[in-house]
């Protein structure tokens, strides 16, 4: 069984990327990531099958991100504020890849809520079956959403390759 440190080391990137889909402000992304790992710390002993760790972390991250509306409302701040640049994607590294990454992040962020969740999880290599289970929708529904999300991203982004 992996320790929490090892799990954090392995999956911290995924958690942060999913949080980046829902939040633009780096401080609030940090808050979300901390909240996810705190929840994971408490939930880890309840995980029956270690093989399902990645989808489990993705599920908890997804749920915390989708429901972080409460805290944002309490703070009376606007969700997905456009004013602060994202530190996760450094703008000063003006490499072609970094710029593409920024465009992709923007494209995913701008997806409608129903497609955003599917796209964010798919980009993290979560299987369609697991995405459907995480969101509580049918597999065919998840597939259709994914197809639409891809079309939307391609329209906004162009061809990644």
Partner 1 sequence: MNEPSQMDPFARLWQSTPKPDTRQLMLDVQRLHETHRRHNRVLIFVLCGIALLLAFCVAAERSLTLGVVSALWVAYVIGAIWYQRVRCRSDALGLDTISLLKRMISRAKRGLFQARCLSIGTPAAALTATIVTKVSGLTLTSDGHPVHQLAEIQTIASLIMLAAMIVAGLVLARARRRQLLELTEKLRSLEDKL
Binding stretches for partner 1 (CB under 8 A):
4-5, 8-9, 12-13, 16-17, 30, 33-34, 37-39, 41-43, 46, 56, 59-60, 62-64, 66-67, 69-70, 73-74, 88-90, 97, 100-101, 104, 108, 112-114, 117, 122-126, 128, 133-137, 141, 143-148, 150, 153, 157, 159-161
Cα–Cα separations (whole angstroms), residue 67 to 31, 36, 62: 13, 12, 9
Query: In angstroms, rounded to a whole number, what is the distance separating the alpha carbons of residues 141 and 51?
Result: 25
In contact, 61 and 18? CB cutoff 8 Å = yes
Measured from the CB of residue 83, what is the shortest distance to partner 1 in angstroms?
20
| CA 156 – CA 116 distance, rounded (Å) | 14
How far apart are CB 156 and partner 1 at their closest, in Å? 11
Considering the complex, state which of residue 42 and residue 83 has its C-beta at the smaller distance from partner 1: 42
Report in angstroms how near the CB of residue 131 gets to partner 1 at its nearest.
10
Compute the distance between CA of residue 66 and CA of residue 22 in angstroms, rounded to an integer.
Answer: 8
């Amino acid at each position: 069984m992996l320790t929490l440190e090892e799990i954090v080391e392995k999956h911290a990137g995924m958690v942060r990327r999913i949080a980046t889909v829902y939040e633009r402000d780096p401080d609030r992304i940090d808050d979300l990531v901390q909240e996810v790992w705190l929840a994971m710390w408490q939930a880890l002993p309840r995980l029956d099958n270690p093989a399902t760790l990645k989808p489990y972390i993705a599920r908890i991250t997804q749920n915390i991100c989708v429901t972080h509306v409460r805290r944002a409302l309490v703070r009376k701040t606007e969700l997905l504020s456009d004013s602060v640049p994202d530190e996760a994607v450094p703008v000063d590294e003006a490499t072609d890849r970094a710029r593409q990454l920024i465009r992709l992040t923007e494209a995913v962020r701008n997806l409608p809520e129903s497609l955003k969740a599917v796209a964010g999880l798919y980009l993290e290599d979560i299987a369609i079956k697991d995405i459907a289970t995480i969101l509580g929708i049918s597999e065919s529904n998840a597939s259709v959403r994914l197809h639409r999300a891809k079309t939307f991203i391609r329209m906004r982004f162009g061809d990644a390759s």
